[in-house]
Structure 1
Amino acid sequence: MNKIYLDNAATTPIDKEVIDVMVQSMLHNNGNPSSTHQFGRKAKSSVETARKNIAKHFNVTASEIIFTAGGTEADNLILQNAVVNLGVEVIITSKIEHHAVLHTCNFLKKTHQTEIVYVDIDEKGVVDLEHLDRLLELNKTHKCLVSLMYVNNEIGNLLPLNKVSEICKKHTALFHSDTVQAIGHYQIDLQKTPIDFIAASAHKFHGPKGVGFAYFKKGFGIQPMLHGGDQEKGARSSTENVHSILGMEKALAIAISTIDKDTNYLSELKSYFISELKRNFKNVAFNGNSEYIDKSSYTILNVRFAIANDMLLFTLDLNGIAVSGGSACQSGSNKGSHVLDELLDEAEADKISVRFSFSKNNTKKEIDTTVLKLKELLN
């Protein structure tokens, strides 16, 4: 049975070139970056070169990049630092953010009495920018941080980063964006779009799991969440994950170098899948703005079929097709999608929604096979 992987928003397969870099590092770069002998200095040099190369992709300096264990830690480090170290009193976010943001906000509310305010979204999950502007005006006597993700991990909606940046600048508010689903897929120049903090995770762009980074704009001091060492310039205690950092550097370099080709290819693949779904299924619908290439990520399509079928994802898996019913961080639980709960009424929420997410490794033939299997299971 041929296996079809359409859950790339959860994680992507590691590029062969990335594996090669990591294997070479494991074989020949075994020092601790904090050690002063030649083995440690070699490891330290490798990490700092990777930091510098990663920073160049975003038009920032190496000192603004802090390596983490992934996007969740990066979001936590940014949000907790904003409150504990930078004096943020109000965080404005939305109810359809990743739980790395929402749960951290709830934690800060309990532990530091941080006020959490939610900006309005419409039935498609689009952020109401006029409401955001009003909220910042209402809270102008408080230090505010806006936390809104660039690409929604479930419905793929694209946030207008430049417009949000302008609104935050107008009100002198800090701006954090969870860019985990965007890094490696969209060009981000942090000089042209002045975001204060972003988060990234290597396994979303064909790198290894368990490594990512946080960007802190120069001038913001960082207090660590983890204590016990002075690694990462004192911002994060823990021996750096040298091999994975080098793998992340390579994965990002590959993704950036092929970004135009991959964008065109995957946009065409997603458009073809949409047309085939509309042709073969009555009353098929698309959650959020995922149907529209110009309003959503070309890697994510969230589909709602006009029936209830709790076994669909399981049956697809048995047939070798991997997809998701919501955020992969919730897979294995009985919880529904908090994002879809915000967008759909009870009748629509009872229907089966499936998140298909694509990578450069997917093919039109795989889409055809998936549509045929869906017809067999649903019609």
Structure 2
Amino acid sequence: MVRHRREEATIDTAHAEWDPRSEAVQADQVAGYDAMRARGPIAYDGDRSWTVFGHAEAVRILDDPATFSNAVSRHLQIPNGLDGERHRAYRAVVDRYFTVERLAAFEPACRAVAAELVAALPRGRAVEVMSALAEPFADNITCAFMGWPDALRAPLRAWAEKNRRATRAGDRAALSAVAVEFDGHIRAQLDARRGEPVTDPTGELLHETADGRPLRDEEIVSIVRNWTVGELSTIAASVGVVAGFLANHPEVQDRLRTDPSLLVAASDEILRIDPPFVASRRRVTAEHRVAGCLLPVDARVQVLWASVNRDEAVFGDPDEFRLDRDPADNLVYGRGVHYCPGAPLARLELRVLFEELLGGTARITPADGRAAVPARYPNGGFAELTLQFD
């Protein structure tokens, strides 16, 4: 059994029960969340907003979408920002793009992207993994899945970095600007496919219907934005987290080289230990009590995946790597009606990339003297991760 340990963190609680953006938390997010969870399953972080740290409390919220609504944004978010019948109608459309048959057909293209990047990695010297592998893989695989031209890879990568900077800064104006920019990329791809034969998911969406009528352009843009923005950020973060874990745990690395069939379960477990996606929001629709705390109508709630997936009441030692856990307890892709529709695609992409990476190397190790730089809230994973491939 493998244990992955972190230092303890001290939380500044001068102005609220906790501050997710405090430097104490930023120094090591997971340790900070562990420290808060030890104090209780829920905490107030100011401005009518609560954060849920406990697994049982998170499950109750996720299983009650009527009380804890996903409609939290002023902008159209399909399907994740909808509830009830509207959510079900759009989700029926979205789920058709992530079937077993579709993903099996996509796997050769996914493998080609992964193999090209792995072959290009320098051997025997330090490599910054986020810029050399994780982010290019996320950009290139998004273009491959959507049927977008290779020429869009570089603009997507530049956009993703702008989005990360704006998100870290909490800069609403910058976030709005990058959203408009990204929507422009999507609309250009839709326009290029109007009146043309359907050859990819982007073109197919132009012919979809919901509630008996064709989807409007703004609905298609929202659907594609939901797929691709999550892909660009979360897949890149996931690649970094899994690569970093394997470099620091050679016994797990060797086990997966010997038996690649364990890769899906292993990546799920590694992402439970160190979640790439930190939190998601809900809005309270009816006064409700959570862990003894009365939440008023319209209160904002953050389900902190990076804590609930490490709750000792469910997982024992949260840093212990185990492949015999109940998969239903792992909330890395969510739970309930809003379970991530792209989870099968994400698992395929991570499996294929690490099959290629482990098959194309004899050893992955941390680079001497190159400390990893953790990402800052609300992002998970690493900002920089330097490894060596032999």
TM-score (norm 2): 0.27
Q: Please, what TM-score do these two structures have when normalized by structure 1?
A: 0.28
Higher relative contact order (CA 8 A, sep 6+): 2
Higher helix share: 2
